[in-house]
Amino acid sequence: MAVLSRPGIQLEPHQVVIRPLVTEKGTHLSQRHNSYAFEVVTLATKTDIKKAVELLWNVRVVAVRTQTRVGKPKRTKTGYVQTKPWKKALVELHEDDRISFF
C-alpha cells in the first residue's frame, strides 16, 4: 500500500525509513525527549516519515524534524570524491508510545 498520495514517486514505508540510528546521542534523545533518530531516504518529506514510522512501529508521531546532511569530500588515490548526502529525521512520539531498537 502506497503511503504517498501526491504526484511523483510513491514510496513504501520500508523504503522511507532506511535504518534507526542507534548512537549515544540518539539513545539520550529517546530517553529524555521520547525522540528517535532515523536515517531516511532523501526524497521523503516529514509527512512521509510520520506516516511510515506510525505504520512500521504502530505508534503516534507528534513531530518530525529533518536534517539534510551534505556529503563530505573524501580523498582517494584517483582524486577527490563526494560521499552521498543523506537525510536524518528526529521523530518525536506521543508520550505514551515507545520504540525499542534493541
Q: Which of 9, 10, 12, 22 binds another protein (CB under 8 A)?
A: 22
21 binds another protein (CB under 8 A): yes
The β-bridge relationship of strands 35-40 and 86-93 is: antiparallel
* Grid cell listed for 66: 529533518
Tell me how far, at minimum, the Cβ of 25 lies from another protein, in Å: 8
The region of 4-12, 18-26, 41-49, 58-66 touching another protein under the rule CB under 8 A is 18-26
Residues that bind another protein (CB under 8 A): 21-24, 26-27, 102
